[in-house]
Structure 1
Amino acid sequence: APGAAEAGPPEPAATQPPAPAALDLGALRARVTPVEPGFAFRAVGADLGPSPDPIRLDLSLTGGGIKSLTLTRIKETIEANSPQLVLQREQTSAATSPPTQLTPMAALALEIASPGGGPPTFVNLAVDPGGTIWREVSPGVLGAEIVDGSDRVALTVERSWKIAPDSYDVRLEQRIVNQSGGPLRLRWYQLGPVDLPAEAESYGGDKRRVRFGYLLRPALDPGRQTVVSTDFLTARDSALGEGAAMGDAHGRPVFNDLGEPVLAYADRTLWPNPRSIDKQFDLCWAGLTNRYFGVAVHPLFDPSAPADKVLRGVAQAERIVLPGAKGRESLGLRLVSPAFDVPAGSALDLSMGVFAGPLSTAVIARDPLPAASGLSGLVVYNFGGPCGFCTFEWMTWLLLGFLRLLHDNVVFDWSIAIILLVVGVRTALHPVTKWSQIRMQRFGKQMQGLAPKQKKIQEKYAGDRKKMQEETAKLWREEGVNPAGMLGCIPMFLQMPIWIALYATLFFAVELRHAPGFYGLFQAVSPAWSFLADLSTADHFVEFGRSIRVPLLSGLMGPIQGLNLLPLILAVVYFMHTKYMTPPSATPLTPEQQTQQKMIKWMTVVLFPLFMYNAPSGLSVYFIANSTIAIFENKWIRRHVEKHGLLDIEKMKAARAARGPGFFTRLQQAADARAKLVEQKRAKEARGKGHRNR
């Protein structure tokens, strides 16, 4: 099993004999082989032919890691000549001397010690200026040798990269064979995933995250088969933390080629963390994600039977950062194994799987091992932050399932499916919307009628606040005004989690990436026209061919790359929406209040479309459809109210008299009766006390 010596369980450390005297741990080093400039390992995975492998790996001389990991069936953009998407890439920083690298999944070092104690030695397995530490045994199979001071082989390390057919999962089989003649205690250091590409368009901010999957403690999960990933949704900026200005050998600040100060970051352990330690979580997978894709390491096991799903070869996951200017840093995970006692002649297995693909539960479910590893937990439709707690996961899955049903079986177009999804949601919520609007309109109408009488009460009892409240409550009862009418807006607020969930679902749904809107109609008119050619980006009605930054505005909406039509349509729809949706005021407004209401109205009409200017066109379609349907729904409700006289004050009084007092009225009457009894009791006690005093 990965993370164990193949010869079986080693003896307890206390009884292990010391390493042979002939083996000088301090003299151990990796064997280095000179190479010609330009030498490269052969790639793993074919990207040609009618059915290419989903992944192609180009391997690096640095640590035998990944120089580039390419998703051969996925393009970077919708352009016909767009390159394939490179999900992992070797990254270099020239800010340090010599330049430093982050090579995904690269071997870094092996810590070697005697089981009997003593200081360990660290053998570098990453890079050497004299040549390469790693040699190619066969395509995808790399080997390294650790030798002693006499150049005798003490340990061999083998890394084998294998891509399963039609899979986004890569097997990294790693074995360390102890050929030293004595037992050794080994600890393995390697890199995990590094930063995924950031979104080209900045709407919504940087959605890259650090994710962990884990098992609950045995008391809560005796079977130890259910992988959970709900506790850790760490934004990249949060994992990155604050950097400090980097200095050179003389303490002077270091600047990049653009004159920007370079920042350095201290290493940080992300796993285990205080919560995982307190809750006794066991790590199953660790990964990085962006908006649509993810890369995660996980254990290898037989998914067809119950198995150990703990990532035994990883005890710590540390955040490391390649120095760079603010916003140009590169983040990666460094994986550190536990210490393993390996007898002479035995091999330590540190194999793991590497999932690298789209954040789609359907894609992950097709591959048994990632599915059994719980990697579907990488897929999260949640913005996090203030709205994170009210974005219910079950609701996003329900909405996405309905959206897929509409697309796959009814309309076969994502934009039409979005519109029908909004229609379905609004139809389901219509009874609540209708009830809420009628209650608010009725309460507003009643309060308008009461305004003159309330004003007289306020003038009459200006110096007696308690009496004013009593008379106001009495007036409400006499006029049949139900205080519950003030709560008519609450159901509207209770609907907000549904709309937030729908918003998040459409933003993160990988199905919308590179999907054209309205059956590609606009591309049928003109193949080069990018209008609504990709629902995951702005609509690009007219492209400028360059980015324009507008002072102040670009801070709100990002750089302008062209004329986007949907936000302008959205502004018109919002104007109509505010016109029909603004409820009548319960009391006459002062000139200042009228001015304030107009400002709020125009800010809604102007600022929100500006904020949405660079929004994904799929989201714009959603907002336009939702607001348009809301206008017609509101008009229908008002027509229904007028037709049935639901705002006729006299009818409301007659109906209330026929059915008797309502709940709140009865509650108020009971409170008044109790208050009257208390007052009578106090008066009686006061009279009795007066008689006794006489």
Structure 2
Amino acid sequence: MDFDIRDLLKAMLLCLLIMIGWQYLQQKTRPPAPPDQQPQGPAAPKTPTPSTAAPMVTDEPQQKEIITQPGADWQVRMVAPGEDIVLGDRNQPAGYKSQITINASMAAVERVLLSEYKYKVNDEQTGYPLLESCLDENNRPLGSFQLGRLKLKNRIEVFDLSRGCWQLTRNKQTDATGEQTVAFTAVIEDGQKQPVLQIVKTYRYGQENGGYDLDFDVHLVNMTRRFLELESLEFWGPMGLMREGPRTDRRDVVAGYQVAEGEIDIKRVNLRTLEKDPQKAPIEKPKVGAIKWFGISNKYFAAVVRPYTPNGNQMVDYISDNQVRGRALSIKPGKTGQKLRSTLTVLSRLVREDPIKPSDRAEFNFKIFLGPISTKIFRQHYAGLHYEALLAGRSCAICTFQWLTALVLKLMDGIYAGVRNYGVAIIILVLLMRLLLHPITKKSQMNMMRMQKLQPQMEELRKKYGNNKQELSKRTMELYKEQGMAGNFLLGCLPMILQLPIWVALFTAVDGNVEIRHHGLFPASWHWLTDLAAPDRLIPFSWFGVEEPIEIPLLSGFMGGIDAFNLLPILLTVAMFLQTKFTTQPQMAQANPQVAQQQKMMMYMMPAMMLIFFYAAPSGLNLYIMASTFGGLIEQKFIRKHIKAEQEKAAEVKVAATGKVSDRLGPKKKKPKPQKKFFS
């Protein structure tokens, strides 16, 4: 379960318990003395010691290996670096979903920009930086899909293919369908400068699978007249993913294992875990099943590597130990002088059981998904690959009811199709829910007003049986039964109880939904409520040079990091304060000072908790709760006014029916009786 979901559920359950306790307290004849409590706030999380990227963890014990040096028997042929190559285009009219920059020296992807998305909502040009170049522990540049150390069986050399050895052997070519291809070649040669092993890396990018796939092939060509056996080839996966959202860092290394036909078991390790405990770098693998795909993901986007065989879609066996590893890295600083930023990558080792025959080759083929985490895209282009499992852990099926989340999404999408604004769609959704819950809300208000009328009788019971709690409780229940109110003390908070699943379902529907990302109530030029999937960020702290979210001791565990002044949670808090104040029972407070003190504490504690839990929540959720709360206040006012008018009308009818007007109105007055006007 995602940490944001856990925090939200804690807030919902805590608010629910407080509301139930409050309602019970107001109905209880004599509130018990509060038990001695020793509240324990959450311990401040230990700040991990900053460190550089952790070294790669391997399963084998560390052994001293002889690294190839000039003059050794076999070595990698070094070449002069060429110019970088760009595949695709970030400009949407070109028709490509990505712009992929390949570093010629590393023959690796240096940067990927997604042409359909922006990094910030007010960016003028599209191009979301999905992947970036990183730095290793020696501050050397790294790129996505880079090859590292190659080891052959029966050879003592370890060949470094990371950089400086790649020559462009097939310049960028574009066919009639728009597919672009580029190839690089590295050569391992013997002591006589004769080629022994040729390593060919080929990138192909076009419109396959909607334009989200990058094809990547590695061929090892045996240039000798004898068999060659590959022991391992280090393969760096995608890297450089950016953080999305200040509340929690959802950057994960993910791996999907096919444990049965049509069933995927997804394993993941978070970046923070990798930074704190590098020993957890190997991704836990299930007891059965083969690896289907692996990669990295954040809140909205993913880069997923899927190994395959050209002659079919069967599972491959060239991922060593059927396992991948995560690793924390630093993103390479750009030209603007920004500081190093933490990120992650995934590594694997390629192996081959069969030897490579003379003049033959070993093939390793991959399809790499570069794009948004979108159920629509996955179902349309990747049916059967179970990429939807990337969404696992982002919702609580037990507490949110996935069908309810799907229903909320369909309602929002349906309303959005008509109004073309998700903010307006959320407000309309509030009105619909208020209409559906109106009968229950009205009954709740009627019950509350009846309880207020019972306060004089309950006060008499307190005075008479105050020293006998058991008898007092018995007499109180008898009074409730006489008035037809037995068991109704929860009715006052029933509307909120029914709203809780809607809140959590809406949170699940909005938070992490790339379809709603950068959709706001107002246009981007307004700089407020421009992204309903993120906090409203009225005043970003970046305006004052603060780039990283601020962590508040004790509170950050509930509200996450703060990177802006958010106005909407404050408005929500005001609405909750007014609702709490409006629903208190002054008669009971006047009769019992202890209840008055507890009501006063509730009036301030409940809104304060809402502010803490929802400060960094998606603005779409806060907009819904705020609009629903203010709408509830208006609704309660009209309901109470209507109930009061009906009660006055019923009293007039009762007086007229009994004919004993003098008993209720006192001595006759010269003015005509108002009851006669009622029947005239």
- So what's the TM-score if we normalise by structure 2? 0.69
SS of match in other structure, 1:503: helix
Answer yes or no: is the 8 Å Cα contact 1:54–1:73 preserved in 2. yes
- Of residues 526, 530, 537, the one that matches 2:527 is 530
2:387 is equivalent to residue 375 of structure 1: yes
1:351 corresponds in structure 2 to 365
1:511 corresponds in structure 2 to 515
Measure the CA separation in 2 of the matches of 1:469 and 1:485: 14
1:341 corresponds in structure 2 to 354
2:200 corresponds in structure 1 to 158
1:170 corresponds in structure 2 to 214
Measure the CA separation in 2 of the matches of 1:323 and 1:48: 28
- Of residues 258, 264, 278, the one that matches 1:228 is 264
1:283 corresponds in structure 2 to 291
Tell me the amino acid that sits aligned with residue 270 of structure 1. I
2:329 is equivalent to residue 294 of structure 1: no
- Of residues 447, 450, 458, the one that matches 2:458 is 450
1:399 corresponds in structure 2 to 408
Relative to structure 1, is the Cα distance of residues 137 and 591 closer, same or farther in structure 2, using a 3 angstrom cutoff? same
1:90 corresponds in structure 2 to 133
Answer yes or no: is the 8 Å Cα contact 1:28–1:149 preserved in 2. yes
2:97 is equivalent to residue 54 of structure 1: yes
Tell me the amino acid that sits aligned with residue 177 of structure 1. V
Q: CA deviation at 1:167?
A: 0.9
1:41 corresponds in structure 2 to 84
Relative to structure 1, is the Cα distance of residues 643 and 298 closer, same or farther in structure 2, using a 3 angstrom cutoff? farther
For residues 334-364 of structure 1, give each alpha carbon's deviation from its aligned partner in whole angstroms, at most 9, with x where no partner exists. 1234542234144332211111112222233
Measure the CA separation in 1 of the matches of 2:189 and 2:103: 22
Tell me the amino acid that sits aligned with residue 103 of structure 2. S
Measure the CA separation in 2 of the matches of 1:430 and 1:509: 30
2:243 corresponds in structure 1 to 198
Measure the CA separation in 2 of the matches of 1:411 and 1:317: 46
1:332 corresponds in structure 2 to 345
Percent identical residues: 25
2:187 is equivalent to residue 145 of structure 1: yes
Structure number with the bigger relative contact order (C-alpha 8 A, sep ≥ 6) is: 2
Measure the CA separation in 1 of the matches of 2:552 and 2:597: 25
- Of residues 308, 326, 337, the one that matches 2:314 is 308
Structure 1 window deviating more from structure 2 (27-36 vs 436-445): it is 436-445
Q: CA deviation at 1:416?
A: 0.8
Answer yes or no: is the 8 Å Cα contact 1:270–1:317 preserved in 2. yes
For residues 577-603 of structure 1, give each alpha carbon's deviation from its aligned partner in whole angstroms, at most 9, with x where no partner exists. 223344678786643542343233234
Q: CA deviation at 1:84?
A: 2.3
Tell me the amino acid that sits aligned with residue 216 of structure 2. L
For residues 207-230 of structure 1, give each alpha carbon's deviation from its aligned partner in whole angstroms, at most 9, with x where no partner exists. 32333333233xxxxxx2x2535x
Structure 1 window deviating more from structure 2 (133-142 vs 437-446): it is 437-446
SS of match in other structure, 2:519: coil
2:421 is equivalent to residue 413 of structure 1: yes
- Of residues 623, 626, 643, the one that matches 2:625 is 623
Measure the CA separation in 2 of the matches of 1:546 and 1:79: 18
1:591 corresponds in structure 2 to 593
Equivalence map 1:475-486=2 (5 Å) = 482-483=486-487, 485-486=489-490
TM-align CA RMSD: 4.2
Equivalence map 1:62-81=2 (5 Å) = 63-79=106-122, 81=124
Tell me the amino acid that sits aligned with residue 500 of structure 1. V
Answer yes or no: is the 8 Å Cα contact 1:436–1:492 preserved in 2. no
Q: CA deviation at 1:300?
A: 4.1
For residues 77-100 of structure 1, give each alpha carbon's deviation from its aligned partner in whole angstroms, at most 9, with x where no partner exists. 23454562211011125xx4x424
Structure 1 window deviating more from structure 2 (441-450 vs 42-51): it is 441-450
Relative to structure 1, is the Cα distance of residues 497 and 227 closer, same or farther in structure 2, using a 3 angstrom cutoff? same
Q: CA deviation at 1:190?
A: 0.7
For residues 102-152 of structure 1, give each alpha carbon's deviation from its aligned partner in whole angstroms, at most 9, with x where no partner exists. 4222112333226xxxx886432223xxx3345443332122223344444
Relative to structure 1, is the Cα distance of residues 412 and 472 closer, same or farther in structure 2, using a 3 angstrom cutoff? closer
Measure the CA separation in 1 of the matches of 2:421 and 2:457: 51
Tell me the amino acid that sits aligned with residue 299 of structure 2. R
Tell me the amino acid that sits aligned with residue 130 of structure 2. L
2:229 is equivalent to residue 184 of structure 1: yes
Relative to structure 1, is the Cα distance of residues 473 and 537 closer, same or farther in structure 2, using a 3 angstrom cutoff? closer
Q: CA deviation at 1:421?
A: 2.5
Relative to structure 1, is the Cα distance of residues 423 and 589 closer, same or farther in structure 2, using a 3 angstrom cutoff? same
Q: CA deviation at 1:622?
A: 2.1
SS of match in other structure, 1:75: coil
Tell me the amino acid that sits aligned with residue 314 of structure 2. D
Relative to structure 1, is the Cα distance of residues 470 and 591 closer, same or farther in structure 2, using a 3 angstrom cutoff? closer
For residues 219-272 of structure 1, give each alpha carbon's deviation from its aligned partner in whole angstroms, at most 9, with x where no partner exists. xxxxx2x2535x54654323x2525xxxxxxxxxxxxxxxxxxxxx44621142
Answer yes or no: is the 8 Å Cα contact 1:31–1:133 preserved in 2. no
Answer yes or no: is the 8 Å Cα contact 2:271–2:328 preserved in 1. no
Measure the CA separation in 1 of the matches of 2:634 and 2:608: 22
Relative to structure 1, is the Cα distance of residues 453 and 320 closer, same or farther in structure 2, using a 3 angstrom cutoff? same
Tell me the amino acid that sits aligned with residue 234 of structure 2. Y
Answer yes or no: is the 8 Å Cα contact 1:539–1:565 preserved in 2. yes
For residues 511-554 of structure 1, give each alpha carbon's deviation from its aligned partner in whole angstroms, at most 9, with x where no partner exists. 23233425x4xx7xxxx542444444454556783257999699
Relative to structure 1, is the Cα distance of residues 453 and 568 closer, same or farther in structure 2, using a 3 angstrom cutoff? closer
Tell me the amino acid that sits aligned with residue 347 of structure 1. R
Q: CA deviation at 1:301?
A: 6.9
Measure the CA separation in 2 of the matches of 1:310 and 1:500: 40
Structure 1 window deviating more from structure 2 (564-573 vs 394-403): it is 564-573
Which ranges of structure 1 fall in alignment gaps of 5 or more residues? 1-25, 218-223, 244-264, 649-694
- Of residues 149, 155, 180, the one that matches 1:109 is 149
Answer yes or no: is the 8 Å Cα contact 2:588–2:596 preserved in 1. no
Tell me the amino acid that sits aligned with residue 627 of structure 2. A
| Aligned length, in residue pairs | 554
- So what's the TM-score if we normalise by structure 1? 0.68
Structure 1 window deviating more from structure 2 (543-552 vs 490-499): it is 543-552
Tell me the amino acid that sits aligned with residue 385 of structure 2. S
Structure 1 window deviating more from structure 2 (340-349 vs 427-436): it is 427-436
Structure 1 window deviating more from structure 2 (167-176 vs 306-315): it is 306-315
Answer yes or no: is the 8 Å Cα contact 1:63–1:133 preserved in 2. yes
For residues 561-587 of structure 1, give each alpha carbon's deviation from its aligned partner in whole angstroms, at most 9, with x where no partner exists. 56x554454344333322334467878
SS of match in other structure, 1:340: coil
SS of match in other structure, 1:308: coil
Q: CA deviation at 1:605?
A: 3.7
Measure the CA separation in 2 of the matches of 1:232 and 1:446: 58
Measure the CA separation in 2 of the matches of 1:347 and 1:395: 53
Measure the CA separation in 1 of the matches of 2:235 and 2:636: 60
Measure the CA separation in 1 of the matches of 2:560 and 2:158: 50
SS of match in other structure, 2:94: coil
Measure the CA separation in 2 of the matches of 1:535 and 1:619: 8
Measure the CA separation in 2 of the matches of 1:486 and 1:539: 34
2:318 is equivalent to residue 317 of structure 1: no
2:255 corresponds in structure 1 to 212
